[in-house]
Structure 1
């Protein structure tokens, strides 16, 4: 189960990054071109929204079943080691904040009236979330 969760969390990460990139560019173009926000636009934003939440769920489950997650905090030495601190605290905390921002951007876009404001809500909040996610990816573990 643990190995399967690791693969799910790593595999979905690629999909999340790709989906966020596409949605941010798509919403930015929509805002700059002044076109109407349609149901298709909402569904495209929803794909990145859903994928990011699947990633969060897989990550939270992995955090509590992994020997590298929550258990590192109880050992006491995680804060002195940068790699342990990233795994035990920074990666999960910053990514939760990123998913919250993506959720706020999507939810606000559903409530706003003007098309430009809807696009802006999506591309701004998704972009901030995207940057936060990129800042806390454990690149050394991920790419090896």
Structure 2
């Protein structure tokens, strides 16, 4: 197994950890927000670990990007939908999603009311997850063309 293959498998498998943490953080945030529950240290840690997992996935993705044989900027890169997706579209959407996650987490830390903290996490993390799912769906469509 070469370095590219190892990192590709790591990136591919780690996404499930990210997904589980995000779904749990989002559900907890909606329950806390709509159920008028206190913002506990457990909530803070869940949100923090979800954010850290997304950043870790980004770092693994950056390593994968530079190891990838698909990353070759030439005249055919933008013409081929699969190469364009992995060279440009995928990572741009993921960076946008992670920026939203980071902003949401930072905003929630500055708030004092529990419902406001839950609300910010629920909204920002859900928006980021929708962007991630949309980006992955766009990739599937690119590959199937």
TM-score under structure 2 normalisation? Answer: 0.90
Give structure 1 regions of 4+ aligned residues with deviation exceeding 3 angstroms.
Answer: 138-142
- Cα root mean square deviation, aligned: 1.7
CA distance in 2, matches of 1:103, 1:35: 23
Tell me the equivalent position of 2:90: 91
Figure out how many residues of one structure are paired with residues of the other and give that number: 139
Q: Note the residue ranges of structure 1 that are not aligned, 5 or more in a row.
A: none
Q: Does 1:77 align with 2:68?
A: no
CA distance in 2, matches of 1:40, 1:110: 14
SS of aligned partner of 2:20: helix
Tell me the equivalent position of 1:54: 56
Q: Is the 8 A contact 1:86 1:136 kept in 2?
A: no
The Cα shift of 1:140 comes to 7.3
CA distance in 1, matches of 2:33, 2:25: 12
The Cα shift of 1:65 comes to 1.6
The Cα shift of 1:10 comes to 0.3
TM-score under structure 1 normalisation? Answer: 0.90
